[in-house]
Amino acid sequence: MLFTAVILFLMGIDFYCNNVIERIFHKRKISSSPPVYSIISAALVIGLLSGILANGGGIFFVPAYVVLFRMKIKEAIATSLVTVAVMSVPGMLIHYQLGHINLAISAAIGIGVAPMAYIGAKMDIKTQPKTIKLLFGILLITFSIYFLISQL
């Protein structure tokens, strides 16, 4: 978890600082399609981290898409949703077989999450990309501090 805290903190700072830099320069170069080896490398590292930490990977994929592949933040978030949906199935099946999933709590949370995710996606459409990137950076920094404190 300490390693995760450090990585999330650095990504959060990068998001926050890039947001400031973008506001100053009002420009950002978006590169063409990234090389296959960089996509495979990112997939292997993020897949391993997500398996170890038992998360969907979105907290790692969004920064990877933005920082490594130069996607726009909204494109990175949407692409991450699809990636996480596909990627979370193997981990979910393993944890279900091990009896680690509380189906009652999962169902209850799902009932609340689904409509709020829809509302959040609608809000995303109306929110400026720079604001989303800044908020995501702050969220990463906040999570990293929480992970760091919980491990001490």
Which pLDDT score is estimated for 22? Answer: 57
- Closest of 14, 10, 94, 101 to residue 50, by C-alpha: 94
Cα dihedral 93, 94, 97, 101 sign: negative
Which pLDDT score is estimated for 150? Answer: 85
How many domains does one find in the chain?
1
Using the predicted structure, report yes or no on whether residue 25 has a pLDDT greater than 60.
no
Cα dihedral 72, 73, 76, 77 sign: negative
Indicate the length of the chain as a whole number. Answer: 152
Which pLDDT score is estimated for 39? Answer: 85
For 111-152, write each residue's pLDDT tens digit: 999 999 899 989 988 999 888 888 888 988 998 898 888 877
For 26-84, write each residue's pLDDT tens digit: 555 555 677 788 888 888 888 787 777 766 677 888 888 887 887 888 998 889 888 88
For the residues 87-95, what does the mean pLDDT come to? 83
Whole-number Cα distances in Å, 38 to 5, 30, 126: 23, 16, 32
Helix (H) / strand (E) element for 55: namely none
Q: What are phi and psi of 62, to 5 degrees?
A: -60, -50
Q: What are phi and psi of 70, to 5 degrees?
A: 55, 35
Q: Supply the range of the domain harboring residue 133.
A: 2-151
**What's the pLDDT band for 104 if we cut at 50, 70, 90?**
very high
* pTM attached to this predicted model: 0.71
Angle at 83 between CA 30 and CA 111, to 5 degrees: 125
